[in-house]
Amino acid sequence: MKALQCVELGLPDKLKVNEIADPELLPGHVLIENKAASVNFPDVLMIQGLYQFQPELPFTPGGESAGEVLAIGDDVKDIQVGDRVFAMTGLGAFAEKIVVHENTVMKIPDTMDFETAAALPMTYGTSLYALKQRAELKEGETLLVLGAAGGVGLATVELGKAMGARVIAAASTQDKIDLCIAHGADEGFIYESGKLDKNQQKELSSKIKELTGGMGANVVYDPIGDNYSEPCIRATAWDGRYLVIGFAAGEIPKIPINLALLKGMKIVGVFWGAWVGMHPDENRNNFEELFKLHSEGKINPEVSDSFSLNDGALAIAHLMDRKAKGKVIIKI
Ligand SMILES: NC(=O)c1ccc[n+]([C@@H]2O[C@H](COP(=O)([O-])OP(=O)(O)OC[C@H]3O[C@@H](n4cnc5c(N)ncnc54)[C@H](OP(=O)(O)O)[C@@H]3O)[C@@H](O)[C@H]2O)c1
């Protein structure tokens, strides 16, 4: 079968499309013919050797896919040949076929196409867990989303709105803000896209306070980190929750911990993948909720660009170059 492979660590142009052996079916596992896979920021980090866990070379990146089940191993209980599914693969999705444990697979609704299904698991899974289980977002609260037109960002905009929050989207360009408004954000603002100096950090805090009547945001969703984080924490409301999602802007920030004391606020870590391993049933319930929200038209995963498997390296570069809006898909 054909697979996009990382044979040496580096930028996407080092990736190769190779013919490799079909994966072997194991007990408890299913063989899926992938129809679409989606790109996530961890793929960008993993091919460069910068992610928190690192597979041995050569490896096939790709954390999620959707397709049809071709075969099932012994002891598989809930999945049948021919089922339309998505899979939370972690690795290996940028290939024609994949073998994964049935626990990481979910049947998708008949009305959901493969591109949408491939775009859903990691971003909406992370964001629903973050807003519901971690932040306990309440109706009427203000939710600030940074990197709001990115994968997890746009999912959060939609979910925040569906949960009855007032959503403020923050991103680097006006067309990204426009997309967030089209997906339900109540308002938005542009932040500086380079390293923020002290004045720009103060301006970021002031802007958030201005948009929240001086109170600050009740919940901040931060997938970008670096020196965007502290100004946002300074503009978090009393009793607020600041969600640590990721560090797409580069550095892992160091935060003066007295800010949490002064604001009676919580700095809340979100590690969706680890939680899924510990609470698979709750995660499945979350996905049932996401399918329902999708069928009601309350969430609509945005796929801004799609690439063929042969051009898979370009798909990863597109995300890395900050050009993606919503999700980037590889059609297989
Ligand atoms: N904690 C978890 O469980 C979990 C789960 C999934 C993902 N994540 C993390 O969430 C983050 C976002 O993932 P994603 O898949 O949504 O990525 P994405 O689609 O690329 O979105 C990231 C956004 O970050 C912003 N950004 C700011 N500085 C950037 C820079 N220097 N390079 C690239 N983007 C930059 C961009 O928006 P602007 O141009 O508007 O600034 C971009 O839209 C990653 O750090 C990822 O590891 C965490």
Within 8 A by CB and 6+ apart from 147, the residues are 153, 170, 171, 223, 224, 248
For residue 237, the SS3 value is strand
**How far is C-alpha 149 from the geometric centre of its chain's CA atoms?**
11
Q: Which pLDDT tens digits describe the chain residue by residue (332 residues)? A: 999 999 999 999 999 999 999 999 999 999 999 999 999 999 999 999 999 889 999 999 999 999 999 999 999 999 999 999 999 999 999 999 999 999 999 999 999 999 999 999 999 999 999 999 999 999 999 999 999 999 999 999 999 999 999 999 999 999 999 999 999 999 999 999 989 999 999 999 999 999 999 999 999 999 999 999 999 999 999 999 999 999 999 999 999 999 999 999 999 999 999 999 999 999 999 999 999 999 999 999 999 999 999 999 999 999 999 999 999 999 99
Distance 40 CA to ligand 1 centre (A): 8
Q: Which atom of ligand 1 is nearest to the CA of 123?
A: 6
DSSP sequence for 130-175: IIIIIS---TT-EEEETTTTSHHHHHHHHHHHHTT-EEEEEESSHH
Distance 45 CA to ligand 1 centre (A): 11
- Domains, the chain: 2-120+302-331 (3.90.180.10), 123-273 (3.40.50.720)
Q: Which atom of ligand 1 is nearest to the CA of 249?
A: 28
Q: Which atom of ligand 1 is nearest to the CA of 45?
A: 47
Q: What gap in Å lies between CA 266 and CA 210, rounded to an integer?
A: 22
Q: DSSP 3-state helix, strand, coil percentages of the chain (rounded to 5)?
A: 35, 25, 40
- State both tokens at 6: 């990382």
- State both tokens at 262: 């002064």
- Among 88, 178, 232, 245, the mutation site with the greatest number of ligand 1 atoms within 8 A of its Cβ is 245
Distance 296 CA to ligand 1 centre (A): 27
Distance 238 CA to ligand 1 centre (A): 27
- Among 39, 40, 204, 229, the mutation site with the greatest number of ligand 1 atoms within 8 A of its Cβ is 40
Does pTM surpass 0.85? Answer: yes
Distance 245 CA to ligand 1 centre (A): 9
5 beta partners: 16
Q: What gap in Å lies between CA 332 and CA 314, rounded to an integer?
A: 14
Say which DSSP state 189 is in: E
Q: Which atom of ligand 1 is nearest to the CA of 274?
A: 3
Q: Is ligand 1 within 6 A of the CB of residue 248?
A: yes
